[in-house]
Amino acid sequence: RDKLEALLKIVHCEVISFSNNDDVDAYVLSESSMFVAQRRFILKTCGTTTPLSCVRPLLQLVKQHAGFSQVEDVFYSRKNFKRPDLQKNPHQSFEQEVLYLNSIFKDGTGYCMGTPGKDCWYLYTLSAPKVLQCNNNNNNNNNNDVTMSVMHEPDQTLEVLMTDLDPKVMAIFTKDLCSSAKEATKKSGIDSIIPEMKIDDYLFEPCGYSMNGLSKNGCYMTIHITPEPEFSYVSFETNIPQATYKDVIDRVLQVFQPGKFVLTVFANKSSLAADFPVEVKKRSSKLKSFGGLECREVQYCRLRNYDLSFALYSKFPS
């Protein structure tokens, strides 16, 4: 753990709380969350942290302690900043971030989903196909190589990024209204979004809230809330496998009552959710609107191993 804490110092955040099960270690941080599993590392940060500055030290740490020398997949994503000028290098622009990541990884690609300068979402990921080279020398033919695609275990991620939030709901996540994180979790209804999750939550002073949830099968959910009226923001993320996420999205929106939200969903071909990105892309009748929030924009992208959809919903046109 001391190695991870040293890594977080580079990013300018620290561990506040810890929970785990047989599959995942989950950390609530001063600036969001971190999840560590056997073959996966997830770091979510906010504010003026510098998450990319830990990538090189992280790769060294993984090689030293886990013996992994190759990266299978990389996903760096974020919503557009309201004040990019307040960010530290290389986070002042997505172009700078891409250049930085390209200095570490080969065959990376940057994407902008949505309208640049408005509500958009940036993604950097690897673009080259992952293959295995197998030499078959049974017939003494040294040129008899077989190229095979790597089979991936089922994987999916749903993210809901909410703005223009109801001030009455946001007041729950202040010490003026709730004395503890547990009270805020119950009063808001967060505990009912995915009921089987074991929740580790934290209520900041004087306001702000973070939680990690772990399920028995190793899935996670995480929520981070900035409740101040001038720049209220809530992020929700989970990797639970479902054929459709409509019910989960409904429950998230019922809890937070946003005026606008961005939806992103990744799924690979072996995932239970494999068809959901296409369902979002087609704006199926069940996904055209959520309450008074209408779908204003949809984009779809086929990545190296995943399908990705982005959708913007709002009460009024942007």
Which candidate, 245, 270, 266, places its Cα nearest to that of 194? 245
Is residue 151 one of the residues assigned to a domain?
no
pLDDT at 142 over 60: no
pLDDT at 158 over 90: yes
Residue 219 bears catalytic tag = no
Is residue 150 one of the residues assigned to a domain?
no
pLDDT at 144 over 60: no
From residue 260, how far is each of 129, 282, 296 by CA, in Å? Answer: 35, 20, 10
Count CB atoms within 10 A of the CB of residue 316: 11
pLDDT tens, residue by residue, 163-185? 999 999 999 999 999 999 999 99
pLDDT at 98 over 50: yes
Is residue 142 one of the residues assigned to a domain?
no
Is residue 133 one of the residues assigned to a domain?
no
End-to-end CA distance of the chain: give it in Å, rounded: 45
pLDDT at 141 over 80: no
Number of domains within the chain: 2
Is residue 24 one of the residues assigned to a domain?
yes
CB half-sphere exposure, 37, CA atoms < 13 A: 13
Residue 178 bears catalytic tag = no
Which candidate, 85, 91, 83, 80, places its Cα nearest to that of 12? 91
**Confidence category of residue 14, pLDDT binned at 50, 70, 90:** very high
140/209: higher pLDDT: 209
Alpha carbon distance 125, 3 (integer Å): 26
Q: pLDDT over 70 for what percent of the chain?
A: 92
Count CB atoms within 10 A of the CB of residue 254: 13
pLDDT at 129: 56
Q: Which residues pair with 207 in a beta bridge?
A: 174
**Confidence category of residue 106, pLDDT binned at 50, 70, 90:** confident
Catalytic residue among 33, 53, 188, 210: 210
DSSP structural state of residue 243: S
113/148: higher pLDDT: 113
- The residue from 79, 106, 125 where one domain ends is 125
Residue 13 bears catalytic tag = no
**Degrees to nearest 5, angle at CA 162 with 111 and 102:** 25
- Residue span of the structural domain in which 44 resides: 2-125
The pLDDT of 144-153, averaged and rounded, is 50
Is residue 139 one of the residues assigned to a domain?
no
pLDDT at 96 over 60: yes
Catalytic residue among 120, 178, 219, 224: 224
pLDDT at 143 over 80: no
Q: Does 198 share its domain with 280?
A: yes
Catalytic residue among 13, 32, 53, 207: 32
pLDDT at 146 over 80: no
Alpha carbon distance 299, 113 (integer Å): 7
DSSP codes of every residue in 146-201: EEEEPP----EEEEEEEEEE-HHHHGGGBTTT-SSHHHHHHHHTGGGTSTTPEEEE
Q: Does 69 share its domain with 15?
A: yes
Pair 122, 77: CB distance under 8 Å: yes
Task: State the amino acid at position 143 in one-letter form.
Answer: N
**Confidence category of residue 128, pLDDT binned at 50, 70, 90:** low
Q: Does 216 share its domain with 89?
A: no
Q: Does 31 share its domain with 82?
A: yes
pLDDT tens, residue by residue, 194-207? 999 999 999 999 99
Question: How much is the mean pLDDT over the chain?
Answer: 90
Three-state SS at 130? coil
pLDDT at 11: 94
Is residue 132 one of the residues assigned to a domain?
no
- CATH value at residue 49: 3.60.90.10
The pLDDT of 143-151, averaged and rounded, is 41
Does the pTM of the predicted model rise above 0.75? Answer: yes
Catalytic residue among 13, 46, 120, 207: 46
The pLDDT of 257-265, averaged and rounded, is 97
Q: Does 117 share its domain with 168?
A: no
The pLDDT of 232-253, averaged and rounded, is 98
Q: Does 169 share its domain with 307?
A: yes
The pLDDT of 90-116, averaged and rounded, is 91
Q: Does 118 share its domain with 164?
A: no
Alpha carbon distance 102, 118 (integer Å): 25
Pair 301, 266: CB distance under 8 Å: no
Q: Does 200 share its domain with 97?
A: no
pLDDT tens, residue by residue, 278-291? 999 999 889 999 98
Q: Does 101 share its domain with 160?
A: no
Q: Does 230 share its domain with 308?
A: yes
Task: State the amino acid at position 79 in one-letter form.
Answer: K
Q: Does 113 share its domain with 233?
A: no
Is residue 136 one of the residues assigned to a domain?
no
pLDDT at 91: 84
The pLDDT of 152-164, averaged and rounded, is 95
Q: Does 172 share its domain with 298?
A: yes
pLDDT at 127: 78
Residue 17 bears catalytic tag = no
